[in-house]
């Protein structure tokens, strides 16, 4: 009989397994970290051209997984998508410095400054991936783009020939595009580049049988591109979304615990919980030491609750009225659209393990309920840092509300903004980044900085604010979910306090 893990062993396993999860964009995926929620299957369909997702939901993870033959094979097996085995995959854009497959930041800025059209740039990327001889011989992207502009006929014939050859070989050329928020420091230019990318993607989707693009994009960027390129709406029908349910999140947690590298506690965890299946052997490109959690630990809330209550306190206090950690934790990490970033979820648990170790070392569970609250506070700080990096105007809008208590009347919010002359601050912020000498900084501004009521709606659309009332007027109440409220310094009667004291 396998000896159960002690609270300290569970705590240590959590710390080891969750180390570095917040830095997922800088860590390549491995067979151990590859977890496949059922809801993400559509994102891997070859004909799903656009995959939408916010910060920290797995866009870069899946983009890199598609580029890795071993991880593609894993997805083909687990998701049952045999077409993933018949791909020739190239990177069309990403964060790798010095990539030969696409222009880096400086080269791209130079192309735009010299008047290159977005479609010309992406056709140069496509033709390079397809092996156009003249483009392979040139080391400079400016020369490649110039060749595309000067040789439309040969360019189109190359695409048609590559499509016919791929059809004969029963394969698909797939180009993967990620990191689009880093295309250019000017948001308007970025929007035009994405619109051009989607135009070329649409032509490949409907004009060829065996050449496809896979574009990972934030929803706000896809929405803007659709306004610039009306035909982009044709890509909406087969667009996929990276979303995480509560059971997906806990399945991800248990996957990490059961797949911690060469770890005795992980092996014991698998034996205790039972039903873990090893991956296929190495001749199918999949490491044999990858284990798939049983269905109950992936999809069954009752089974997940029972297991998590071995790890965390049963209640978020002395009794059930204060909530159960299994539901309480994800509920307090949701944005106003009920979306949860797995990165926030795992960060909260990693902090909870460390806080329990330092503040409650002899506790009867691996995670103390107060430590879970500390984890949510830290996850809020990380999330707010991320949203302010992506959309710094959000910080300008919400920071003046610090010290207030939610819910707040819309009229009070607008009054605070008027006192600060928020429209002027937003215009100055936008001008500052357009003129910045740091072109790697890409910033998004509100569409209507001078219309404060429409600004409220933009924050609701982003998931930062929530409207409590059906009637929209100055008396309607606005709320901030805890994932933003805590780090921005707003109070809530009876809610998680801003500090642990």
> For position 24, what pLDDT does the model report?
57
Question: 10 Å Cβ neighbour count for 157?
Answer: 11
- CA-nearest of 345, 373, 336, 409 to 486 is 373
Q: How many CA atoms lie within 13 A of 168 on its CB side?
A: 6
| Displacement of CA 179 from its chain's centroid (Å) | 10
CA pair distance 33, 68, nearest whole angstrom: 13
Lowest mean pLDDT among 90-99, 242-251, 341-350: 90-99
pLDDT at 318 over 90: no
- CA-nearest of 203, 156, 150 to 175 is 203
- Name the maximum alpha-carbon separation found in the chain: 74
Long-range CB pairs of 416-422, under 8 A, 24+ apart, other chains included: 417/452, 417/455, 418/452, 422/396, 422/397, 422/449, 422/452, 422/455
pLDDT in tens, 186-229: 778 898 999 999 999 999 999 999 999 999 999 888 988 888 88
Output DSSP code: residue 294: P
CA pair distance 113, 338, nearest whole angstrom: 41
What region does 93 belong to: left with phi over 0, alpha with psi -120 to 50, or beta? beta
CA pair distance 501, 496, nearest whole angstrom: 11
Crossing angle of helices 152-169/141-150, nearest 10°? Answer: 100
More confident residue, 28 or 135: 135
Lowest mean pLDDT among 55-59, 92-96, 259-263, 438-442: 438-442
| Distances 26 to 18, 124, 216, 281 between C-alpha atoms, Å | 15, 27, 17, 28
pLDDT in tens, 281-307: 544 444 457 888 999 999 999 999 999
> 313-329 burial string, b = 16+ CB within 10 Å, else e?
bebbeeeeeebbbbebb
- CA-nearest of 246, 340, 255, 300 to 53 is 340
Query: Token match 């033709």: residue?
Result: 127
pTM for the structure as a whole: 0.89
H/E stretch holding 434 = helix 422-434
């Amino acid at each position: 009989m396998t000896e159960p893990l002690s609270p300290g062993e569970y705590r240590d396993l959590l710390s080891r397994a969750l180390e570095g999860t917040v830095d997922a964009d800088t860590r390549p995926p491995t067979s151990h970290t590859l977890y496949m929620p059922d809801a993400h299957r559509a994102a891997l369909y070859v004909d799903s051209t656009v995959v939408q997702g916010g910060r920290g939901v797995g866009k870069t993870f899946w983009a890199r997984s598609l580029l890795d033959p071993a991880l593609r094979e894993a997805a083909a097996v687990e998701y049952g998508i045999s077409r993933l085995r018949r791909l020739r995959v190239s990177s069309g854009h990403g964060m790798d410095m010095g990539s030969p497959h696409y222009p880096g930041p400086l080269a791209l800025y130079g192309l735009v400054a010299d008047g290159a059209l977005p479609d010309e740039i992406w056709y140069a990327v496509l033709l390079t991936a397809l092996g156009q001889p003249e483009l392979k011989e040139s080391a400079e992207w400016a020369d490649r783009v110039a060749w595309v502009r000067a040789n439309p006929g040969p360019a189109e014939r190359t695409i048609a020939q590559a499509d016919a050859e791929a059809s004969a070989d029963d394969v698909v050329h797939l180009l993967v595009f990620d990191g689009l928020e880093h295309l250019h420091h000017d948001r308007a230019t970025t929007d035009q580049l994405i619109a051009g990318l989607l135009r070329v993607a649409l032509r490949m989707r409907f004009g060829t049988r065996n050449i496809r693009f896979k574009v990972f994009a934030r929803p706000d960027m896809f929405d803007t591109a659709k306004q610039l390129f009306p035909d982009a709406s044709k890509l909406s029908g087969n667009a996929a979304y990276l979303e995480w349910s509560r059971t997906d999140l806990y399945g991800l947690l248990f996957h990490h615990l059961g797949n911690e590298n060469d770890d005795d506690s992980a092996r014991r965890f698998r034996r205790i919980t039972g039903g873990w299946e090893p991956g296929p052997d190495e001749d199918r490109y999949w490491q044999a030491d990858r284990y798939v959690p049983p269905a109950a630990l992936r999809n069954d809330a009752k089974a997940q609750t029972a297991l998590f209550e071995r790890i965390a306190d049963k209640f978020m206090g002395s009794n059930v009225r204060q909530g159960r950690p299994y539901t309480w934790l994800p509920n307090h990490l949701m944005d106003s659209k009920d979306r949860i970033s797995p990165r926030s979820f795992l960060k909260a648990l990693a902090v909870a393990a460390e806080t329990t170790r330092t503040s409650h070392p002899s506790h009867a569970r691996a995670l103390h309920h107060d430590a879970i609250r500390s984890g949510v506070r830290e996850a809020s700080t990380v999330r707010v840092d991320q949203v302010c990096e992506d959309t710094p105007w959000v910080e300008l809008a919400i920071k003046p509300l610090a010290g207030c208590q939610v819910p707040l009347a819309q009229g009070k919010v607008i009054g605070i903004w008027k006192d600060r002359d928020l429209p002027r601050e937003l215009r100055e912020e936008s001008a500052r980044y357009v003129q910045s000498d740091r072109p790697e900084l890409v910033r998004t501004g509100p569409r209507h900085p001078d219309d404060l009521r429409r600004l409220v709606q933009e924050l609701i659309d982003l998931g930062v604010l929530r409207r409590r009332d059906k009637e929209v007027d100055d008396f309607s109440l606005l709320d901030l979910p805890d994932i933003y409220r805590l780090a921005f310094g707003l109070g809530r009667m009876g809610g998680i306090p801003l500090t642990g004291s």
